[in-house]
């Protein structure tokens, strides 16, 4: 399914009543706004009582039948068959966009990059049953009850609350940076990743290209940062020459097997980092994906254990070096 096919089918299924003019202005066009498909919800182009938001959306997503469902982590540019990781829990805690659609576009779930937009869950209008319609009514009633309170009380202090949250995060990171290595073990997995990333960043000279600073890191930090960069950074292509060995040392053996098999199967030179670089022009990137079978590579990785869990285990077993 191409990006154009996805947009066409999604809009027909979930925004069929929205005018072509509004779809063009708020969803498709990039001339006035940085548009996303979920703008049909955030701009209230779709009737508020026809979809779920927030915790209600997550609850519906956790219960819906995901047989035949697919998901995308790149705004609908490429899709993958639903796997256990994304089927078992909402993706709102993960950075970036997450789109999921059920078999034959019977339902959709979207988690956005905006903290105050979404997540959203909607069933195709012709597939709405009694239980889901009741959930929509209850969720809409809660929304109406809270909107007046939000306008009167929440909005005036929202900015102050955001400033305080950023202040608290800075204090938290400062405490993690000063924390003795052995005490890191008491942190939750999420805080542990946050702590290690910020402690390593102190040693890195170029935050936009962590691989250029490998010489400033110890052995365990190098292995961690190479794997983390490949999977989570815009400069991931620079980590490719080191990835196979580092995957082995962090004990991501299945991920290493997939990577090594992919490189061997298609005769890819890992030192030619342009192979893994994301192109600014989508058509150019699509041609590259077809040439190097990058979709096949991504599908194989998504079927494995979440690499973040592997990295957390590696950090805990090498806590004194972090």
On whether the CB atoms of residues 54 and 60 are closer than 8 A, the answer is no
DSSP tag of 209: -
Closest CA to 37 of 68, 8, 64: 8
The pLDDT tens digits of the residues spanning 133-189 come to: 656 655 655 555 555 544 454 445 445 555 656 677 788 888 888 888 888 889 888
Residue where the block lists tokens 């540019």? 77
Query: Would you state the torsion angle of the CA atoms of residues 189, 190, 191, 195, taken in this order, to the nearest 10 degrees?
Result: 90
- Each of the 322 residues of the chain gets a pLDDT tens digit; together they read 788 888 999 999 999 888 888 888 888 876 555 688 999 998 888 877 788 888 888 888 888 889 899 998 888 888 888 888 788 765 554 557 889 999 999 999 999 887 778 789 999 988 776 556 656 655 655 555 555 544 454 445 445 555 656 677 788 888 888 888 888 889 888 888 888 888 888 888 776 677 888 888 999 999 999 988 887 765 567 888 899 999 999 999 999 998 898 888 888 888 876 766 655 555 665 666 677 676 777 777 777 888 888 999 999 999 999 8
On whether the CB atoms of residues 124 and 105 are closer than 8 A, the answer is yes
Q: b/e string for 166-199 if b means 16 or more Cβ within 10 A?
A: eeeeeeebeebeeeeeeebeebeeeebbbbbbeb
Closest CA to 109 of 117, 118, 99: 99
pTM, to two decimals? 0.52
d(CA 156, CA 210): 40
């Amino acid at each position: 399914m191409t990006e154009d096919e996805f947009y066409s089918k999604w809009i027909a299924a979930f925004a069929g009543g929205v005018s072509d003019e509004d779809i063009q202005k708020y969803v498709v066009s990039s001339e006035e706004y940085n548009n996303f498909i979920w703008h049909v919800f955030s701009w209230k182009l779709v009737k508020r009582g026809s979809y779920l938001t927030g915790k209600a959306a997550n609850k519906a997503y956790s219960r819906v039948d995901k047989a035949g469902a697919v998901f995308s982590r790149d705004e609908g540019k490429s899709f993958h068959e639903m796997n256990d990781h994304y089927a078992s829990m909402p993706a709102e805690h993960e950075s970036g966009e997450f789109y999921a659609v059920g078999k034959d576009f019977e339902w959709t779930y979207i988690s956005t990059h905006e903290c105050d937009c979404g997540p959203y869950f909607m069933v195709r209008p012709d597939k709405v049953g009694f239980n889901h319609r009741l959930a929509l009514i209850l969720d809409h009633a809660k929304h109406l009850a809270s909107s007046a309170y939000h306008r009167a009380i929440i909005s005036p202090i929202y900015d102050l609350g955001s400033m305080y949250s950023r202040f608290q995060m800075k204090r938290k990171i400062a405490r993690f940076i000063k924390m003795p290595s052995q005490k890191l073990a008491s942190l939750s997995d999420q805080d542990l990743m946050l702590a290690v990333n910020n402690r390593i960043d102190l040693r890195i000279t170029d935050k936009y290209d962590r691989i250029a600073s490998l010489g400033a890191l110890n052995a365990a930090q190098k292995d961690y940062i190479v794997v983390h960069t490949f999977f989570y950074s815009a400069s991931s292509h620079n980590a490719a020459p080191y990835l196979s060995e580092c995957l082995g040392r962090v004990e991501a053996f299945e991920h290493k097997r997939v990577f090594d098999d992919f490189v061997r199967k298609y005769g890819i030179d890992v030192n030619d980092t342009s192979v893994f670089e994301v192109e600014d022009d989508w058509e150019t990137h699509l041609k590259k994906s077809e040439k190097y079978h990058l979709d096949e590579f991504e599908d194989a990785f998504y079927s494995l254990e979440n690499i973040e869990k592997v990295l957390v285990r590696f950090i805990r077993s090498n806590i004194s070096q972090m």
